[in-house]
Amino acid sequence: MTVRLVQLTDPHLFGSAAGTLRGLATLRSFQQTLAAASDAITAADRVLLTGDLVQDDATGYAHLPKLLGELGKPIWCIPGNHDDVPAMRRALAAPPFVLGGHADLGAWRVIMLDSTVPNAAHGELSAASLSELASALETAPQRPALICLHHHPVPMTSDWLDEVGLKNAADFWSVVDRHAHVRAVLWGHVHQSYDALRGGVRLLGTPSTCSQFLPHSSEFALDTLPPGFRTLALQPSGQIETAVHFVT
């Protein structure tokens, strides 16, 4: 069977419905993205939320059960640098929310990693997370694997953004490179679309459900692109079909 996923990332919600980030009302933007993604979510097996669910405001998590609880899909979450991980775990402890871990979906193994560092913008995978990754890959060598995290593990050729990427990316790749069945790595954080290859591994960054960052900028700058989301179709053969969709 083909496994269908929808990735939503970096909504940066506030407790107040009127909360804005860089002049954009993030709850409204998230609602508009959900509406645009409605058909894709209906067809999906799972929805992935890949971090920065809130903007340093734990009361923002209360919106998620209201908006996503009736979709009839597992909502698979990992935190980002603006999330309060203990508060996130408390707020999203009940179905349909699933936090981290790995699962076998169709022929695939999908792995969700926590790359956050408390009180820091950059990311790092702890020794425990690297061990979790290695174990998840070693115990299913016959399954093509998709790895998801918040922070980008490759340079984005953006000076300011690469300062807050995955600091121990070499440790991450040392695990991945030992497992030829890894097909793709997927992340949020970068507020822009990215699609490249590293050896046989597809590298995928996804736009935010709010504002986007200007690619290849040495200093922080916003792009003019609207909110976006990504769809993925994981084929039994190990191939991936994926597209980024912008809200128009």
DSSP string for 95-112: TTEEESEEEEETTEEEEE
Nearest to 213 by CA among 236, 190, 230: 190
pTM to 2 decimal places? 0.98
Count of CB atoms situated within 10 Å of the CB of 115 = 30
| Residuewise pLDDT in 10s, the chain (248 residues) | 999 999 999 999 999 999 999 999 999 999 999 999 999 999 999 999 999 999 999 999 999 999 999 899 999 999 999 999 999 999 999 999 999 999 999 999 999 999 999 999 999 999 999 999 999 999 999 999 999 999 999 999 999 999 999 999 999 999 999 999 999 999 999 999 999 999 999 999 999 999 999 999 999 999 999 999 999 999 999 999 999 999 99
| 8 A C-beta contact, residue 41 and residue 47 | yes
